Amino acid sequence: MRKLKNEELDRLSVEEFKESPKAGLVLVLDQVRSLNNVGSFFRTADAFLIDKIILCGITAKPPHKDIHKTALGATETVQWEYEEKTLDAVEKLQQEGVEVWAVEQAEGSSALQDIDVNPQKNYALVFGHEVKGVSQEVVSQCDGVAEIPQFGTKHSLNVSVSAGIAIWEFVRKKRFAQQ
């Protein structure tokens, strides 16, 4: 096996990215404080053709050098908007017919792998503050809570790691369900 060179990866141009059909998935960041985590969200969103990111509350907005450091230019491709209150963002998405899931540990949560994802439906995933998680009022408003099963002693993942796992699971189910 030979590792591929960057020029062999068939990367989309910024224009091609913007014109490409998106995944039908929105990310909502509820008070994410680390600019490096915000940058990681942008980079992951670019990788999976996410529709947009909604930055809420104290979550930093581009342009910022610390976001750029981990986003590696994805702030130029991924659409984003800012909403002061996460609850307002969630309610607006629901009014648009988007099914909203908090990624959190909660009573009555669904294991990520057990969630039925309809390829024809649009979804949003809410990710929370690095210490406090998704706020209770937002969890209560969501259509469901997706929990990533964990088996070690910590039962805690970095929020951007959680994002990569959850985004892949939703995109995989939406994109490859019909095959």
Three-state DSSP class for residue 49: coil
Q: pLDDT band at residue 177, thresholds of 50, 70 and 90?
A: confident
**What is the extent of the structural domain holding 171?**
19-146+155-176
**CA dist., res. 28 & res. 83, Å (int):** 10
Domain of 135, CATH number, reads 3.40.1280.10
Report the share of the chain in percent with pLDDT over 90.
98
10 in any annotated domain: no
In a domain? residue 6: no
The answer to the question of residue 130 being in a domain is yes
Please report whether residue 1 resides in a domain: no
Q: Report yes or no on 12 lying in a domain.
A: no
**Within a domain: residue 62?**
yes
20-53 tens-digit pLDDT: 999 999 999 999 999 999 999 999 999 999 999 9
pTM of this structure: 0.96
Number of domains in the chain: 1
Asked whether residue 88 is assigned to any structural domain, the reply reads: yes
In a domain, 7, yes or no: no
Q: What is the pLDDT of residue 178?
A: 58
